[in-house]
Amino acid sequence: MASHSRFWRDPALPFIEARSVDDGRKVCYSPHSHKSFSIGAITAGRSTYVSGDSHQQVTAGTVVLMNPGVVHTCNPIDGEPWSYLMLFVDLPWLQALGFQPFDVLSSQSPDLYQDLCQLHGVLLDDQLISASKHTALCIFFSELIQRLPSSVASVARVNPGLLVAAAFMREHCTQALRLEDIGDAAGLSTSYLIRAFKQHFGLTPHGYLVDQRVQYARARLRCGGVIAEVALEAGFADQAHLQRAFKRHLAVTPGHYRSAQ
């Protein structure tokens, strides 16, 4: 049991998940992305935050933001202790509030930090009903959308074939895909696909495909799926294969994630 990492979920609020980590030295991530929007607070120590082409050190009191689909990592610095909390919010729910991808990757605002920590505490409060938590979520994220600058990322300079390739992998991530299959679907040569895809998305096509399979498995495990069955459904060779990939991407085992409350 990875006691240093805790998850919170509420069946009445299926669009949000919370996580807190007391000892960040024990959770190291490979580059990965989320379908959801993610926002976190560094509650102690410092760490290295990499998002796209940006590399920065973040310290206690910093709020970090991860737009959906953006490859990122946040890992300890030379074994230094640090801790953090995170919220993962489904995109459709946020979009109903007017969400657009944010232009900023982090914030040093004391008010935002305090509000996020307070919201996390509200979600974990067993004495509060789900309706009260839903109200708090609506208020926080509505204010966040007004508080921070956002814009739709420009794709004008991106080869549209790369976007087609990514969409094809998302749609067919549970299937056995070859580079030739992806290239044919996107109208790209395999050599160009390998080179340009990593340059734009921060992952190789194979890495992106594994990332999508982990996200698929994560959603199925949240619904109580049997780990061995989920592994095969998601396109992994077996449970051990899922276990390795899941731990690299989320720094917990599938079993801990499935059972964590």
Dump pLDDT digits (tens) for 150-201. 866 544 567 889 989 999 999 999 999 999 999 999 999 999 999 999 888 8
Closest Cα to residue 188, out of 207, 206, 166? 166
CATH number of residue 81's parent domain: 2.60.120.10
**12 found inside a domain:** yes
**17 found inside a domain:** yes
Residues 104, 36 within the same domain: yes
pLDDT of res. 120? 98
pLDDT of res. 75? 82
Q: Average model confidence (pLDDT) for the chain? A: 90
pLDDT of 1 > 50? The answer is no
pLDDT of 2 > 50? The answer is no
pLDDT of 205 > 50? The answer is yes
pLDDT of res. 77? 85
Domain of residue 234, residue span: 160-259
Residues 118, 176 within the same domain: no
pTM: 0.80
Contact assessment for residue 88 and residue 15, using Cβ atoms and an 8 Å cutoff: no
Question: Using one digit for the tens of pLDDT, what is the confidence trace for 54-111?
Answer: 889 999 999 999 999 888 888 888 878 889 999 999 988 999 898 989 999 999 999 9
Closest Cα to residue 16, out of 104, 85, 101, 110? 85
Contact assessment for residue 200 and residue 153, using Cβ atoms and an 8 Å cutoff: no
Contact assessment for residue 84 and residue 40, using Cβ atoms and an 8 Å cutoff: yes
CATH number of residue 223's parent domain: 1.10.10.60
**53 found inside a domain:** yes
pLDDT of 22 > 90? The answer is no
Residues 132, 83 within the same domain: yes
Select the more confidently predicted residue: 162 or 261.
162
